[in-house]
Amino acid sequence: MHKAVSGWMFWMMAALVLAVPMATATAQDRPRIGLVLGGGGARGLAHIGVLQVLAENHIPVDCIVGTSIGALVGGSYAAGQTPQSMSTLSGKTNWDALFSSGLPRQQMSYRQKQDDNMHLAPIDVGVRDDGSLALPKSAIETQKIATLLRDLTYGGTVKSFDDLSVPFRAIATDLETGEMVVMSDGDLVTAMRASMAVPGVFPPVARSQHLLVDGGLSRNLGVDVARKMCADVIIAVDVASPPLKRDGINTIFDVANQYTRLMIVQNQRPQIASLKPDDVLITPALGTLESTDFNKASDFIIAGEKAARQQLVQLQRYELSPAEYDKWEVARESKRLQPKPIDSIEVARTTRVNPDVLSRNVDVELGKDLDSGDFHDQLSHLYSRGDFSQLDYELLDDGAGQKLRLIPVEKDWGPNYLNFGIALGTDFENASPYALLARYRRTWLNSLGGEASVILRAGDTMALGGEFYQPLQIDGYAFVAPNFTVQSSPLALYDGNTQVGQFRLYKQQGGIDLGSTFSRYGEARIGFMAEHAHASPVVGGILASDANGQPGIIALPEIYQHDYGMRASLNYDQLDNADFPSSGTALQLSAYQAWGGGANTASYGRLSLLGKQAFSLGETNGYVMVKAQTTSHATDAVVDTAWMGGFLNLSSYPYQALLGDKFLYSRVTLYRPLPFLNTESRSTMLGLAAEAGKMDESTFDQSASKWHYSGVGFIAIESFLGPLYLGAAYGDNRQWRYYLTLGNPF
C-alpha cells in the first residue's frame, strides 16, 4: 500500500514538472530577455515574422541588439512599431525605387532630365583638380532609405537608446580599424543607417569619431552585446546567407559573394557557440530566397513565423499571462517615440557649394514639431539639384525639444565629372549609324553655381558642343548661357527606295541665351544666335533632263547658308520615364527669326515642336508623340534639314529616305512588360507602334509631298546604356525593314 501511494505521488509530481514549461512567468520572477537580430539583407525581413509570434504568445522583450537589417527591424520595434505595422509597410514599400540612387524622374531637376536624351551611362567619373580620377564610394545613395527610416521612427529621437520603448543597441563596424562599434545614443536613424551600410553598396556613415559601415563585418549576431546590456536569456535570430557550395562558385562575383558570406559566418560562429541551454536560436529556413529579394517580403515574414513556431515549446517558457503582457505592452506603447519641437538648427559646412543654397531651400519653423513630410519635400527639391550625394540630418534630443543638424554630403569625387555613352544600330541593309559620347562637366566655378560642360560625339555624325551655364542668383531662376555647336553629319539622297547620292552637312552655331529655370518642370530661353551650314556632295547625282530634254545625271551642287538672328525656346518635362513612360507630359517649342546673312536667307523664320503625352491602360503603357517643323525661307537653305526614315522615325523607310525642312510626324507607341523575362535590374517589354509622317518639298527632293505610314513591332530591354531594341517594320512603301539598336541612333 505504501509503495502504491508512493508511485501515485511520483506520477503526480512528474505531471506537474512536465506542465511547468506551459506555465506563465510572473513579471517579478521572470528572466530578462534579450532579442538579438542578425544581418542578412532582405532575409532579415523574417525578423518581423519572429516578432509576430513573440507578440501572439505574450513573450516580452527587455532589450534588442540589431545588426544591419536587424538594426532596421529592431530599431523600428524599439521606437514603438508593432510587428503588424512593419509587416504592412514592408508589403507596401516599392523596394526597387527605394534602392535606386536617383529620385523619381518627375522630381529631378530639368537639367538632369536633359541627360536622358543622350543615354549616358549613369556613372560619374570624377576628375579632381590635380588630374586624378575618382569614383563614388557607393553604388546606391540612401536618401530615400533615410526617409523611410524617419517614418519608421515617427520622426522622433531620444538622448539614450535605453529610453526607447525597448532599450536598443545597433552594431556597426569602424571602416578604418575593422573594430565593432556599439551605438547606444545619438540620432537613432543615423545609427540604423550606419549598421546597414554595406561597403560599396551604401555610403559609409560618419558618426562621432568613426566612419562606419555594416556591422555584419565585425559582429553579425551580437549575443555578447545583449548579455552585457541586459539579457539573462537570449533569443537569437540568424538570417545570414549560408556559404555557397563549390558548384555555385563560378564567376568573380560568386567569389566576392562567398568571401563576404564566409567573413560573416566566421564572426557569427563564436556567438552561436556561446548560447546556453536556456537560450533560443531561431534560424528561418529561407531556401532559395536571396538577400536581395526585398520584393518577396511576405515570403520572408512567413518563413520567420514558421521558424519561431518550431521553437514554440522553448519560447513559451518565457510567456507572460495575458494581463501581465498587456501591462508590458501598454508600458512599451507609452514610450513610443514622438516628435518634439525643433528649438535649434545647425548646418554643417560645405566645401564648394554655396551655403546659401541650403538656407534658401530649407525652411523649418522653430518652436514647433518638425513637419516630416514637408521637410523631406524640401530636401528632395534640394537633392534634385545634383550638388549633393546625400542630404543627411540628425535629430538630437536636448530635453524639452530637438536639435536639427543638417549634414549635406557633397560629391567628393568631383568637382569635374566625365560621363560616357554609346549608341549603335543597324537595319541589316545599308544603314548602321553609331555614336560614341563623352561629356565633361565642371561644377561650382563660382559662388552662384556656374557650370561649364563640353560634349563630344564621335561616329557617323561628328559633333562638339559646349555651354557655360551661369545662374544670375543663387536660386537659379535666371541664368545666362553662352553656347556653341560644331557638327558634321551624312545626308543620304534617295530616289524612291534607292540611294542615289550623299552629302556631308557641316553646321556651326554659336550664341548666348538669357533664361529662367522652373525647377523640375522646365525652362524658357531667349537669345542671339549665328549659324553657318555647308552641304558638300560626296557621291552621286540627280537624274534629270537637260535643256534639250535629254535625260542625264546632274552633279550634286555645293550649298551654303549663313545667317544670324534671335531664337526662343520653351521646354517642359514631367514624364516619369524618358523612354517608356506611363504618365506625364513633355513639350519642346522653339522659334528662330533670322535678321540677315547670306544670299536668299537674309530673313526667314523657323518654328519647331515636339510633344509627348504618356498614358497607362492597365498593364499596358504608352505615349502619343507629335513633332513638326516649318520654315519660311527660300529652298536653298540647309541648316534646318531634317529627315524621316529609320527606326521609330517612319521605320519602314530607309534611314534618311525623306529629307526636308518642313515636316509633320506622329506616333502612337504601346508596350507592356514580359514578366518572365524581367529581373530586378532591368525590364523587358513587348511593344507596337503606328507611325505617320509627311515631308514637304526640300532642297534635295522637289517631288510633291504626301503622307507615309509604318507599323512597328519590337522587343525592348531597358539597360543602363539606354534601351536595346529588336524590331520589325512594314509600311506604305510595301517593304519590310528590321532593326537592332542600342540607344537608337537613327
The DSSP-derived string for 275-297 is --TT-EEE----TT--TT-GGGH
Band of residue 679 on the pLDDT scale cut at 50, 70, 90 = low
Place of cell 527587455: 62
**DSSP H helical ranges for 57-184:** 69-79, 83-92, 95-98, 110-113, 143-152
Please give the single-letter amino acid code of residue 474: I
Residue 299, pLDDT above cutoff 60: yes
Q: Is the pTM of this model over 0.85?
A: no
Omega before residue 204 within 30° of 0, cis: no
- What lies within 8 Å, CB to CB, of 689 at 6+ separation is 648, 651, 667, 668, 669, 670, 711, 712, 714
CA dist., res. 83 & res. 78, Å (int) = 11
| Secondary structure (3-state) at 292 | coil
Q: Which three cell numbers stand for residue 722?
A: 539606354
% helix, strand, coil for the chain, step of 5: 25, 40, 35
Distance CA 215, CA 69 (A): 10
- Alpha-carbon separation of residue 481 from 116, 447, 515, 525 (angstroms): 20, 16, 8, 9
**What value does the mean pLDDT take over residues 385-400?**
86
Cell numbers 551642287: residue: 557
Given a cut of 90, whether residue 568 has pLDDT beyond it is yes
Instruction: Let me know how long the chain is.
Output: 746
N-to-C CA span, the chain:
105
Report pLDDT digits (tens) over 179-231: 999 999 999 999 999 999 998 889 999 988 899 999 999 999 999 999 999 99
pLDDT of 26 reads: 55
Q: Which pLDDT score, from 0 to 100, does residue 681 have?
A: 57
Note the pLDDT of residue 122: 81
What is the crossing angle of helices 69-79 and 46-56, to 10°? 40
Question: What phi and psi values does residue 396 have, to the nearest 5 degrees?
Answer: -115, 125
* Cα distances (angstroms) measured from residue 106 to each of 95, 308, 380, 587: 18, 43, 11, 14
**Sign for the pseudo-dihedral over CA of 179, 180, 185, 187:** positive
Residue type, 582: S
The grid coordinates listed for 195 are 549598421
Task: Say if residue 42's pLDDT is above 80.
Answer: yes
Q: Of the given ranges (38-42, 367-371, 451-455, 698-702), which has the lowest mean pLDDT? A: 698-702
Contact 45, 38 (CB under 8 A): no
Nearest alpha carbon to residue 76 among 181, 151, 163, 14: 151
- Confidence band, pLDDT 50/70/90 cuts, at residue 5: very low
Q: What's the grid cell of residue 153?
A: 521612427
Residue 98 identity? L
Band (pLDDT 50/70/90 cuts) for residue 561 is confident
DSSP code string of 448-480 = T--EEEEEEEEESSEEEEEEEEEESSTT-SEEE
d(Cα 161, Cα 78) in Å, to the nearest integer? 9
Distance, CA of 256 to CA of 723 (rounded, Å): 29
**Residue 592 confidence (pLDDT) above 60:** yes
Distant-in-sequence contacts of 684-688, Cβ < 8 A, 24+ apart = 684/715, 684/716, 684/717, 684/718, 685/580, 685/715, 685/716, 685/717, 685/718, 686/714, 686/715, 687/712, 687/713, 687/714, 687/715, 687/716, 688/712, 688/713, 688/714
Separation between Cα atoms, residue 191 and residue 305, nearest integer Å: 27
Reference 585, options 620, 612, 623; nearest CA is 612
For 133-148, what is each residue's pLDDT tens digit? 888 888 888 888 998 9
Longest dimension (CA), the chain: 144
DSSP 3-state assignment of 696? coil
Residue 62 CB contacts under 8 Å (≥ 6 apart), including other chains: 32, 33, 34, 166, 167, 230, 231
Distance, CA of 260 to CA of 243 (rounded, Å)? 9
Crossing angle of helices 69-79 and 188-195, rounded to 10°: 160
CA-CA-CA-CA torsion sign (80, 86, 88, 89): positive
| pLDDT beyond 90 at 83 | yes
CA contacts within 13 A on the Cβ side of 134: 17
Tell me the pairing of strands 642-644 and 620-631.
Answer: unpaired
Query: Mean pLDDT for the chain?
Result: 88
In contact, 714 and 725? CB cutoff 8 Å = yes
Nearest alpha-carbon partner for 72 in 105, 38, 103, 95: 38
Instruction: Using the predicted structure, report yes or no on whether residue 589 has a pLDDT greater than 50.
Output: yes
Phi, psi dihedral angles at 488 (to 5 degrees): -135, 125
